[in-house]
Amino acid sequence: MMNAYVIGNQIAAQAELDSKLSEPAWYNCSRVGTGDEVVWRLEAGSLAFAFGRYADAIREFGTAEKLIADYDERATVSARDVGGEAAGALSNLNALPYRGWCRDRMGLEIYKSLAYLGEGREDAFRAQVKRLRECQKQIQDDYAKFFEAEKAEIDKSREKNPESAKQMDEQGTESAIAGNAKNAEFATSLAAMRQIAHKGYGGFLNPLALYLSALGNIRDGNWDNASIDTERMYKALPANLLVKAIHATALRTAGKAVPAELANVASLPYPMDRDCVYVIVANGRGAAFEQSAIYWPIMVAWPRFTTYDSAFQNVQVTAGGQMVTTVPIADMDAILAQEFNERLPGIITRTVLSTLIKEAAYRTAQVAAWHGTNNAYAKIGALLAVTVVGTTYRYAMNTADTRCWEMLPKEFQLAQMPMPADRRLTLAPIGGFQAPLNVTIPGNARSAIVYVHAPNPGFCTYSVLPFTSK
């Protein structure tokens, strides 16, 4: 599916999605009704959005949203007694329903907002972007609860399995695993992931969501609220010249004091609330997870953080005799890496502890089979049966949880400029193989978001999402 997606083969990618989201039957591979459904809904929504099928995108994102809310409620109920779904899943991380990383949850809200605008539902766009700040806070609260529930679950499993817990503390710590010569790849990938995580914004913040929230407030004339959004953008991206200019403009328009470090930053030389073009570039293919192995000394499947190259460096936007260049606004790889790094201690503990518990159960079963009878042939038969079943089970369960939303970009970039009189723009990617794109803004669009979709250097397309009000 991803091979088709990155080269722009919508038909082949959609065919794979259709097989996963078809009505479940014994003869197909549908994931509907399983713990994997959310991730396939997110992929389906982003594919539909990328190719201008906005109603389909809204439907898929809406379904994913409802499933996530349902899984969150179920997990909350299970966590009350640290039982049910959560405790049972300790034996295999893949048994948990996929509830979306924080990056995914905020990405869903961003894409849903843009899809409303693409469908011509400007009022729905405005309502959705007003929710973005609230959604950001909700995601932080939900994941605080998630971390608490996970710790409670692990603590209870340690209490019930003291020998396994002791062995884990001795052999299954991150430093012990990374120090094993067989785990050089693990140590290297961990160091690379942490370098990327340092570029994150804290609290799973997504500056593009802040920008859209600010844009909605600005276009509504609510500069006070807009300045709150732009201040958070500025704190996340203090060196970004465009963000500085947007924040200084918002503060001055709202009649608020401009901090000393922004005193010499000029306000934007054009009105941002009307007759404007906002260019959002989805650059490259976002990070994902691939299965690898760690040894401590048992070999266990592990999710390795994997990144891909950008499609290009940035985009030059030329229109009306002016030229601006896009700047990074949201590093999506860093947002995911930061969360993965925060969840890493829990992931390692769950992986190691669950493996030790399974190994202890396997050894107990072997001993029981051997001592269950005095007949030598029966002993061998029983031991052989336990060994076959145990080996098969351990092999089947030894899989890493590599699920994540893969059709997100590596980063989002941003540029903006006044609406040109001839309503024409040229988008010239720098550093890729894509020829310049010539964009004509429709006559009914008084302002517009031009969304550039570029999952790889050889495939780049765009959509115009119109504002008809002003």
DSSP labels, 399-461:
--------SS-SEEEEEEEEPPTT-EEEEEEESSSPPPEEEE--TT-SEEEEEEEEEETTEEE
Q: Exposed, middle or buried: residue 438 (CB in 10 Å: 0-12, 13-18, 19+)?
A: exposed
Q: What is the pLDDT of residues 79-88, one digit of tens each?
A: 544 444 444 4
SS3 state of residue 1: coil
Question: Can you give the pLDDT at residue 360?
Answer: 61
Question: Can you give the pLDDT at residue 83?
Answer: 46
Q: Which H or E run contains 323?
A: strand 322-325
- Tell me how far apart the alpha carbons of residues 2 and 406 are, in angstroms, rounded to a whole number: 8
Question: Can you give the pLDDT at residue 89?
Answer: 41
| Contact (Cβ atoms closer than 8 angstroms) between residue 249 and residue 268 | yes
DSSP letter assigned to residue 204: T
Question: Can you give the pLDDT at residue 147?
Answer: 80
Question: Can you give the pLDDT at residue 136?
Answer: 85
Question: Which structure tokens are listed for 60?
Answer: 């898929």
Q: How far is CA 165 from CA 81, 105, 233, 451, in A?
A: 21, 33, 43, 51
**Lookup result for tokens 């947002």:** 335
Give yes or no for residue 388 having a pLDDT over 70. Answer: no
Query: Within the chain, how many helices (H) and strands (E) appear?
Result: 16, 11
Question: Which structure tokens are listed for 13?
Answer: 């990618």
Q: How many Cβ atoms are within 10 Å of 143's Cβ, its own excluded?
A: 19
Question: Can you give the pLDDT at residue 364?
Answer: 61
Question: Can you give the pLDDT at residue 87?
Answer: 44
Question: Can you give the pLDDT at residue 101?
Answer: 92
Confidence of residue 110 (pLDDT cuts 50, 70, 90): very high
Question: Can you give the pLDDT at residue 435?
Answer: 87
- Tell me how far apart the alpha carbons of residues 388 and 382 are, in angstroms, rounded to a whole number: 10
Q: Which H or E run contains 462?
A: strand 459-467
Q: Which H or E run contains 242?
A: helix 241-253
Q: What is the mean pLDDT of residues 132-136?
A: 87
Residue that wins the pLDDT comparison between 380 and 402: 402
Q: What is the pLDDT of residues 37-78, one digit of tens each?
A: 999 999 999 999 999 999 999 999 999 999 999 988 876 655
Over the chain, what is the mean pLDDT? 88
- Tell me how far apart the alpha carbons of residues 230 and 288 are, in angstroms, rounded to a whole number: 30
Q: How many Cβ atoms are within 10 Å of 217's Cβ, its own excluded?
A: 25
**Lookup result for tokens 């340690």:** 158
- Tell me how far apart the alpha carbons of residues 443 and 424 are, in angstroms, rounded to a whole number: 11
- Tell me how far apart the alpha carbons of residues 287 and 402 are, in angstroms, rounded to a whole number: 11
- Is the pTM value of this prediction over 0.95? no
| Contact (Cβ atoms closer than 8 angstroms) between residue 137 and residue 228 | no
Q: What is the mean pLDDT of residues 146-175?
A: 84
SS3 state of residue 319: strand
Question: What is the identity of the amino acid at 42?
Answer: L
Question: Can you give the pLDDT at residue 73?
Answer: 80
Q: What is the pLDDT of residues 354-368, one digit of tens each?
A: 777 776 665 665 566
Question: Can you give the pLDDT at residue 117?
Answer: 97
Please name which of 86, 39, 85, 47 lies closest in space to residue 63, comparing C-alpha atoms.
39
Question: Can you give the pLDDT at residue 389?
Answer: 59
- Tell me how far apart the alpha carbons of residues 382 and 4 are, in angstroms, rounded to a whole number: 49
Question: Can you give the pLDDT at residue 434?
Answer: 77
Confidence of residue 394 (pLDDT cuts 50, 70, 90): low
Give yes or no for residue 383 having a pLDDT over 80. Answer: no
- Tell me how far apart the alpha carbons of residues 4 and 43 are, in angstroms, rounded to a whole number: 13
Q: What is the pLDDT of residues 264-309, one digit of tens each?
A: 999 999 999 999 999 999 999 999 999 998 887 778 889 999 999 9
- Tell me how far apart the alpha carbons of residues 460 and 131 are, in angstroms, rounded to a whole number: 30
Confidence of residue 352 (pLDDT cuts 50, 70, 90): confident
Q: What is the mean pLDDT of residues 142-167?
A: 83
